Amino acid sequence: MKRCALFLAAAVVAVAAAPLVRQTFENGDEGWASFGQNGNIRVTREPGDVKSGKGALAFDYDVSHGPAFAAWPVKEPISEMKALGFWLKTDSPAAIAVLLNEKPPGGHYMRIVWSPGDTWQRIELEPSDFTLNEGPNDPKDADNRLDTDQIQSVGLFDVSQIFSSHAQKTEVPIIIEAKSGKHTMFIDDFEISSEPLPRSGASGEGVVIDDFPRPVLQWITLGGVSLTPENRGMRARYQQEEEKYAVITKLLPRLDLRGWNRLAFDIASDKPAQLVFSLEERNPGKGQGPRYSTTVDILGGGKIEHRAVVFSAFSLDPNGPADPDGQLDLDQVKTISILDITAASSHETVANSFWIGNVRTAEKKQQVTPERLFDRVDALAWSPLSGAFPGLAGQARGLRAAPARIGDLDSVGAGPSAWALR
């Protein structure tokens, strides 16, 4: 009798743990389709392009002919969704947007992940990871919340297509590695689960901005940086080079940072570095929001240092969008970006890498730090998700962004509206 009860309990657990949706692509494309321009969905059986089994989904697209999306119309009930996961491989480094569209009059939600190229990695996301798109072409969502029972389609989009389309339209000295020609991304073992993802990030007080709980990175670069997960953090490798500045950025979910005095993080740089941290506010219905920036000097030597920068050290970029209330609204932060401007003053080209982890808010200063670490850079603020880069400190002071934006990722070019399945 006892064995029977244990067997029944195990069976109940097994049923509860079964995914709501599981697609192996062994017998076809599972209903995925291409939307936009010059995209094609197919099933590949090339061993090198299949993660498990004998089939995987391949999405071919041509960057030179405009944006294309891969999308799956939701047919099964997924109101109990707690996690979404799949294996992903791209043929080159790429920022990939995972898109969830609600039924009208709901909103469009997005999370951007980084694919290093030619490497399979497991993408695992929770509903709380997704951010409402608030661009001019996106619908408003009355409750500003992703309702899993209202999701009508799942989409994938190579955001690098937008960067490439504007790479020749700006004269600002940031690195943009333009893509061209035909590309392919591969997807395997797509699942939607009612089981939440396990948490394994760093501990500490404050609101978590990124404690890197899972191997997939949610930071991206326009070019010039190699990004890899490392020891519950992220390693960025790049060149400190004058007039060629590399930037990394993360699109944040809706967070309320009010009540906290500082932005805290652990960081280690191989070489001395002057890093600019920028926070952009939301500006619903428009491509750009007000941007606030400050600089932090990192000593180098590869030793992990803890930094806790006061939010009052962030100053408004006078060359960007105006801020009606003239202050950083900590419940409206949309993106966080990091830019190394060391070469603007050193005039040297040096290979560097830095590691960063446990990015969160903090109330108290964790260590005595020279005031110069909190110097403001009034002439510098950059927002890669809005395409604004008004200036650089030092010799680079005075640069202005070109009229054309690098792309408004709130609307992802033509916007998720272009492939929303009615």
Identify the CATH number of the domain in which residue 29 sits: 2.60.120.430
Determine the 3-state secondary structure of 293 from DSSP. strand
Same domain, 65 and 175: yes
Same domain, 242 and 181: no
Task: Work out the pLDDT band at 391, boundaries 50, 70, 90.
Answer: very low
Same domain, 315 and 217: yes
- C-alpha 187/C-alpha 46 separation (Å) is 13
Beta strands 151-158 and 68-73 are: antiparallel
Domain contains 364? yes
Residue 219, C-beta contacts closer than 8 angstroms, at least 6 positions apart? 114, 210, 227, 234, 248, 249, 250
The residue written with tokens 């050290």 in the block is: 313
Same domain, 245 and 290: yes
**Element (H or E) spanning 12, and its range?**
helix 2-17
Specify the higher pLDDT residue, 142 or 356.
Answer: 356
- C-alpha 160/C-alpha 63 separation (Å) is 9
- C-alpha 254/C-alpha 107 separation (Å) is 14
- C-alpha 189/C-alpha 123 separation (Å) is 11
Residue 289: how many CA atoms within 13 Å on its side-chain side? 25
CB 414 within 8 A of CB 137: yes
- Is residue 289's pLDDT more than 70? yes
Same domain, 218 and 189: no
CB count within 10 Å of CB 311 equals: 19
Q: Whole-model pTM?
A: 0.82
**Element (H or E) spanning 23, and its range?**
strand 21-23
The sign of the dihedral angle between the CA atoms of 224, 281, 275, 211 is negative
Same domain, 187 and 253: no
Residue 24, C-beta contacts closer than 8 angstroms, at least 6 positions apart? 52, 53, 55, 188, 189
145-154, 164-173, 406-415: which range is least confident on average?
Answer: 406-415
Task: Look at residues 195, 229, 249 and tell me which one is the last residue of a structural domain.
Answer: 195
Closest CA to 84 of 217, 170, 6, 196: 196
Domain contains 52? yes
Same domain, 357 and 380: yes
Same domain, 190 and 244: no
Domain contains 10? no
Same domain, 143 and 243: no
The tens digit of pLDDT for each residue in 82-133 reads 999 999 999 999 999 999 999 999 999 999 999 999 999 999 999 999 999 9
The tens digit of pLDDT for each residue in 217-240 reads 999 998 999 999 999 999 999 999
What percent of the chain lies above the pLDDT cut of 70? Answer: 79
- Respond yes or no on whether the N-terminal peptide bond of residue 93 is cis (omega within 30° of 0): no
CB 84 within 8 A of CB 21: no
Would you give the distance in Å from CA 359 to the centre of its chain? 14
Domain contains 407? no
CB 113 within 8 A of CB 124: no
Domain contains 13? no
- Is residue 406's pLDDT more than 80? no
- Is residue 371's pLDDT more than 80? no
pLDDT on residue 164: 57
Domain contains 3? no
Closest CA to 293 of 313, 264, 322, 265: 313
- C-alpha 127/C-alpha 145 separation (Å) is 9
The pair of three-digit structure tokens given for residue 402, joined into one six-digit string: 């070109």
Domain contains 413? no
Q: Which amino acid is at 169?
A: K
Work out the average pLDDT over 394-401. Answer: 33
What percent of the chain lies above the pLDDT cut of 90? Answer: 65
Count up the domains in the chain and report the number: 2
pLDDT on residue 177: 81
Which stretches does DSSP call E strand in 74-224? 83-90, 94-102, 108-115, 121-125, 131-132, 151-158, 182-193, 208-210, 219-221
Task: Look at residues 195, 223, 255 and tell me which one is the last residue of a structural domain.
Answer: 195
The tens digit of pLDDT for each residue in 18-40 reads 899 999 999 999 999 999 888 99
- Is residue 72's pLDDT more than 80? yes
User: What's the Cα-to-Cα distance from 275 to each of 61, 245, 364, 377, 402, rounded to whole Å?
Assistant: 36, 11, 21, 11, 23
pLDDT on residue 362: 94
Task: Work out the pLDDT band at 162, boundaries 50, 70, 90.
Answer: confident
- C-alpha 60/C-alpha 283 separation (Å) is 34
pLDDT on residue 63: 85
Beta strands 262-269 and 291-298 are: unpaired
Same domain, 265 and 295: yes
Domain contains 11? no
- Domain holding 162, by residue range, is 18-195
- Is residue 326's pLDDT more than 70? yes
- C-alpha 387/C-alpha 405 separation (Å) is 4
Q: Which amino acid is at 408?
A: D
The tens digit of pLDDT for each residue in 168-185 reads 444 558 888 877 889 999
Residue 101, C-beta contacts closer than 8 angstroms, at least 6 positions apart? 108, 109, 151, 152, 153, 154, 155, 416, 419, 420, 421
Work out the burial of residue 307: count CB atoms within 10 Å of its CB; fewer than 13 is exposed, 13-18 middle, 19 or more buried.
buried
- C-alpha 344/C-alpha 274 separation (Å) is 10
The sign of the dihedral angle between the CA atoms of 24, 30, 34, 35 is negative
Task: Work out the pLDDT band at 286, boundaries 50, 70, 90.
Answer: confident
Q: Which amino acid is at 57?
A: L
